[in-house]
Amino acid sequence: MLTTLRYTLAQLRGQILGWGLGIAALGLILVPFYDVFMEQQADFMQMLESYPPEFLAFFGGDAASMATPGGYLGMYGFSMLPVIVGIFAVIVGSGLLASDEESGRLDLIVAHPASRAALFWGRLAGFVVSTVAILILGWLGFSVLLGGSSLDVSWGEMALPFLPVLAQVLIYGTLALLCSMLLPARRLAAMVAGLVMVASYFLSSMVTLNESLAAVARFLPYHYFQGSEAMNGLNLGWFLGLMAASAVLALLAWWRFQRRDIRVGGEGGWRLPSLTRGLRRRAEAQ
């Protein structure tokens, strides 16, 4: 498993740097910009109040809360982070095994004496470590200029909103992984997981405008995204609940990977899992 983890991290190192430094750059811009924002607060507030409420809801805030550090960071930074880093999660999660499988490489890899479990968990661990590394780089970018800013947020407080982001990203990544184990193609798996992610964001954001959407949104991950509010205290129930849901998705994907054929070109495509196939085989064996 450690060998697989090492090679997965080596393969993802470019993505870790790219996504991590990108988020860090966002923080390096947002934090000093807060002082400018506060200096011209009246003008900004006037401008924000002129926006339609749907626009503000889309960015996860309202004009009144914008003047607070949490509201400012939430609206410009954290509200979108699950979707931004979620794109990384969906791409990597859907391709964690299916990418090598579609290219025909997995056949030879699985023929080596590392169990399927070791391969699966090694690669998943590589994905989790990469996500954490991206968020740590992002957190450093958001924190390094805090000393010279009037945000009045400590490094520790700034770390807290990254935990709900991590929970969101892991759930989209593991969902994409599970889809790649069930659906006939990696692209389809990425599309389904991406659709869930975007729908989750839209519906949950719009709940402030239309409360009837809450009935649907409560079944979607973003509904349980705390964002910058975590700086005032992390909602452990939501955080652990989402982490547990990710673990369940990962376990289902592993269960499926353990039992399925490794696909190579010309030998038939993946099939949707059949509940009756196992029973039929058992009956034939008897």
Contact footprint for another protein (CB under 8 A): 3, 7, 103-105, 107-116, 259, 261-262, 264-268, 271, 281, 284-285
Question: Position 66: which residue type?
Answer: M
Name the residue with tokens 């391709």.
Answer: 95
- For the CB of residue 15, give the shortest distance to another protein in the complex, in Å: 13
Please, which residue, 44 or 256, has the CB nearer to another protein?
A: 256
Q: What separation in angstroms does the CA of 178 have from each of 26, 62, 105, 175, 256?
A: 31, 36, 20, 5, 8
Name the residue with tokens 């729908």.
Answer: 199
Q: Are 192 and 108 in contact (CB under 8 A)?
A: no
Please, which residue, 105 or 218, has the CB nearer to another protein?
A: 105
* C-alpha Rg value of the chain to the nearest Å: 21
Please, which residue, 236 or 272, has the CB nearer to another protein?
A: 272
- For the CB of residue 122, give the shortest distance to another protein in the complex, in Å: 10
Q: Are 158 and 77 in contact (CB under 8 A)?
A: no
Contacting residues for 49 by C-beta, under 8 A, at least 6 apart: 63
Q: Are 127 and 253 in contact (CB under 8 A)?
A: no
Output the DSSP codes for 120-176. Answer: HHHHHHHHHHHHHHHHHHHHHHHHTTGGGSTT---HHHHHTTHHHHHHHHHHHHHHH
Please, which residue, 41 or 115, has the CB nearer to another protein?
A: 115
- CA–CA separation, 177 and 251 (whole Å): 10
- For the CB of residue 186, give the shortest distance to another protein in the complex, in Å: 15
- For the CB of residue 243, give the shortest distance to another protein in the complex, in Å: 30
- For the CB of residue 173, give the shortest distance to another protein in the complex, in Å: 22
- For the CB of residue 90, give the shortest distance to another protein in the complex, in Å: 22
Please, which residue, 237 or 266, has the CB nearer to another protein?
A: 266
Please, which residue, 100 or 229, has the CB nearer to another protein?
A: 100
Determine how many CB atoms are found less than 10 A away from the CB of residue 208: 16
Please, which residue, 6 or 218, has the CB nearer to another protein?
A: 6
